[in-house]
Chains A and B, each alone.
Chain A
Amino acid sequence: MLPPCSEEPSPPLPLAPRDNRAALGRVLVAEDDPLYRRALQHFLAGHGYDVQLVSDGLQALENALSPDAPRLLVLDWMMPGLPGPEVCRRLRATPRDHYQYVLLLTAKHTTADIVEGLEAGADDYLTKPFNVHEFFARIHVGERMIKLHDTLLAAQQALRSQATHDPLTGIWNRGALFDLLRAELERAQRKPTSLSLFLVDLDHFKRVNDDFGHLAGDDILREVTERLSAAVRAYDVVGRYGGEEFIVAASGLKADRPYQFAERLRLAVCASPVRTQQAEVTITISIGAVTTNPGGECSVEKLIQSADAALYQAKANGRNRVQAVHI
Chain B
Amino acid sequence: MPTGWDHAAALERLDGDELLLVELISVFFEEYPKLAARLTQSLSLKDFAGLREAAHSLKGSLGYLGAVEGEALALALEHASLSGDSARAGELVAQLMAYIEAFRQLMVSASGAPNDATPLQ
Q: Which of B20-28, B97-105, B106-114 contacts A (4 or more CB under 8 A)?
A: B20-28
B82: shortest Cβ distance to chain A, in Å?
A: 13
Q: Which of A128-136, A140-148, A175-183, A319-327 contacts B (4 or more CB under 8 A)?
A: A128-136
Contacts of A130 in B (CB 8 A): 13
| B60 with A129: CB separation less than 8 A | yes
Q: Which of A42, A107, A132, A133 contacts B60 (CB 8 A)?
A: A107
| B12 with A131: CB separation less than 8 A | yes
CA distance A165 to B61 in the complex (A): 59
Q: Which of A78, A128, A133 contacts B64 (CB 8 A)?
A: A128
| A39 with B24: CB separation less than 8 A | yes
Instruction: Determine whether B14 belongs to the interface, using a CB cutoff of 8 Å to chain A.
Output: yes
Contacts of A39 in B (CB 8 A): 14, 20, 24, 64
Residue total for B at the interface (Cβ-Cβ under 8 A): 20
Interface extent on A, as a size class?
Answer: 10 to 19
| A132 with B64: CB separation less than 8 A | no
A35-B60, A107-B63 known; A132+B13 contact, CB < 8 A: yes
Chain B residues engaging chain A, CB cutoff 8 angstroms: 12-15, 20, 23-24, 27-28, 30-31, 53, 56-57, 59-61, 63-65
Chain A residues engaging chain B, CB cutoff 8 angstroms: 33-36, 38-39, 42, 78, 107, 128-133
| A38 with B57: CB separation less than 8 A | no
Contacts of A42 in B (CB 8 A): 20, 23
Beyond A34-B28, A107-B59, A129-B64, 6 additional contacts (C-beta under 8 Å) are: A34-B31, A38-B27, A42-B20, A78-B56, A107-B63, A132-B15
